[in-house]
Amino acid sequence: MNFAFSDDELAFLQDFQDYLAQEQLRPDAPVIFAPWRETDSWLVDSAERRGFMKRLAQAGYIGMSWDKQYGGQERPGIYDYLLNEELSSKGAPIIGKGVGCIGKTIIGHGSDKLKQAFLPQILAADIEFALGYSEPGAGSDLASLRLRAERRGNEWVLNGQKMWTTSAHFADWYWVAARTDPEAPKHKGISVFLVPMDHVGLTIVEIETMGDHRTNEVFFDNVNIPSEYLVGQENAGWQYVCEALDYERFAIYTVGPLLQRFEALVELVKLTRRNGKPLVEDQVVRSCVAEFACEVETAKMLQRRVIAKATKGDVPTVEAAMFKLYSTQLGRRIANCALDWLGPLGLLKSGAPFAPFDGKWEMSDRATVVDTIGGGASEIQKNIIARRGLGLMIGA
């Protein structure tokens, strides 16, 4: 299979690289381009990063794959992927859920009022969203969610709790899945709502992860939402959630950060000495790095299969699961090896005296654990591959 990009795609990529080169000359570039943030590097969680996204919007890079009637350029989705690959490789915030899962779902199913209210703001990068899917008892099994939405006249009243909402502390709006028919089968009684994050009935509580990655739990206490903020049809939310996750294929599955981690490992081997000898002379270490090089290429090919299938209009569910499982586990093993080779000093955090590489690998070792969980834990990816890819566990 030929995974090469076309001349037009390569020309677009070169133009965008030139654009980013100019952005990296700005005084706020160290905040915007921050690959050291690992898992958090794709978030638009500061004034500098919001400003960066607005400049991207002004330059025409946001919503490229949208229909022209909604302000897009009707470019193939591969251009969104190329954009995000370059952004993620440089530790910049990516074009994510606003353009993808939320914007395209509103385009496909939202009312005219929702389209008029939200689509221009998304294209202008004036708005940030948080996704409210997971709950204490409904993380991987999303259809088991229990957040309740009850209709009262022209309003819906939401009560319950959400977990692992990464963007809740800086987002403007909450894209929330709630149960609107408790008597229906669990996949049939779900609806999707848009809720302002500054609503008086919302309480946001920080959860710190081992990777210095902030996420949140959110409590709903009689959060009353006008019925016009119901997205699409009542009780059709499961369909919208599944479609929304499919829209994110181009945004989430970039390989650049993994390539950067491997390149950093090679640099570590070149610069580190152990027992007075360069680490690069250790045959076991050299063999391990060579194996990693092969595995990184495997991850790249798995990722290209996701893109290839999606560009044909298919849903790469199995391919995405394979890449997510393989690449995050590989990133974890690379970080583990780096700590082993650095020895006790490798455990020192950034800023500590004598911390090798300013504690990068200590941080990476913790952050890569989060990578294997966020976006669907490794166990979930294995189930997807077994059930949908291999036809196993049918009826189990």
Instruction: Quote the distance between the C-alpha of residue 318 and its chain's center.
Output: 17
List of E strands, the chain: 129-132, 148-152, 155-162, 173-179, 190-196, 202-208, 214-226, 230-231, 273-274, 277-278
The span from the CA of 330 to the CA of 332, in Å, is 5
Q: What is the pLDDT of residue 289?
A: 97
Confidence check: pLDDT of 24 > 70: yes
* pLDDT(70) > 80: yes
**Does position 294 have pLDDT exceeding 70, yes or no?**
yes
The CATH number corresponding to 130-240 among 3.40.50.2300, 2.40.110.10, 2.40.440.10, 3.40.1410.10 equals: 2.40.110.10
pLDDT-based confidence at residue 84 (cuts at 50, 70, 90): very high
Whether 197 has a pLDDT exceeding 60, the answer reads: yes
**pLDDT tens digits, one per residue of 264-288:** 999 999 999 988 899 999 999 999 9
Average of per-residue pLDDT values in the chain = 91
Higher pLDDT, 266 or 213: 266
C-alpha distance from residue 40 to each of 73, 257, 370, 375 (Å): 29, 12, 10, 13
| pLDDT at residue 122 in the model | 97
CA atoms of 184 and 177, how far apart (whole Å): 15
Pick from 66, 73, 145, 60: nearest CA to 102: 66
Q: How confident is the model at residue 77 (pLDDT cuts 50, 70, 90)?
A: confident
Contacts of 357 (CB under 8 A, 6+ apart): 264, 268
- What is the predicted pLDDT for the residue at 43? 92
Domain boundaries, the chain: 7-95, 130-240, 253-389
Greater confidence, 247 or 229?
Answer: 229
pLDDT of residue 211: 84
Q: What is the pLDDT of residues 296-320, one digit of tens each?
A: 999 999 998 988 887 787 878 889 8
DSSP string, 55-101: HHHHTT-SSTTS-GGGT-----THHHHHHHHHHHHTTPPP--TIIII
247 — pLDDT class (breaks 50, 70, 90): low
Q: What percent of the chain has pLDDT over 70?
A: 95
How does residue 118 score in pLDDT terms, banded at 50, 70 and 90? Answer: very high
**What DSSP string describes 154-215?**
TEEEEEEEE---TTTTT-SEEEEEEES-TTS-TTTSEEEEEEETT-TTEEEEEEE-TTS-EE
Nearest to 209 by CA among 94, 34, 363: 363
**What is the torsional sign of CA 83, 248, 57, 68?**
positive
**What tens digit of pLDDT does each residue of 359-387 get?**
999 999 999 998 898 777 889 889 889 98
Over residues 117-136, mean pLDDT: 94
pLDDT of residue 139: 66
Q: Strands 190-196 and 173-179: what pairing?
A: antiparallel
Beta strands in 255-374 (DSSP E): 273-274, 277-278
Q: 152-167: per-residue pLDDT in tens? A: 999 999 999 999 999 9
Alpha-carbon distances of 67 from 8, 71, 375, rounded to whole Å: 20, 7, 27
What's the pTM value of the predicted model, to 2 decimals? 0.89
- How would residue 55 be classed by pLDDT, with cut points 50, 70 and 90? very high
State the pLDDT confidence band at 246, using cuts at 50, 70 and 90: low
CA distance 273 to 68: 57
Residues 6+ apart with CB under 8 A from 197: 130, 168, 171, 172, 173, 174, 204
Correct CATH for 253-389 of 1.20.140.10, 3.30.230.30, 3.30.590.10, 3.40.190.10 = 1.20.140.10
Domains 130-240 and 253-389 share a fold: no
What is the mean pLDDT of the segment spanning 175-180? 96
The residue with tokens 């941080």 is 363
Q: Provide the pLDDT for residue 42.
A: 86
CA distance 117 to 98: 13
371 three-class SS: helix
What 3-state DSSP class applies to 135? strand
pLDDT band at 212; cut points 50, 70, 90: confident
pLDDT category of residue 8 using cuts at 50, 70 and 90 = very high
Task: Look at residues 241, 222, 220 and name the one whose alpha carbon lies nearest to residue 232.
Answer: 241
Mean pLDDT for the stretch of residues 3-19 = 92
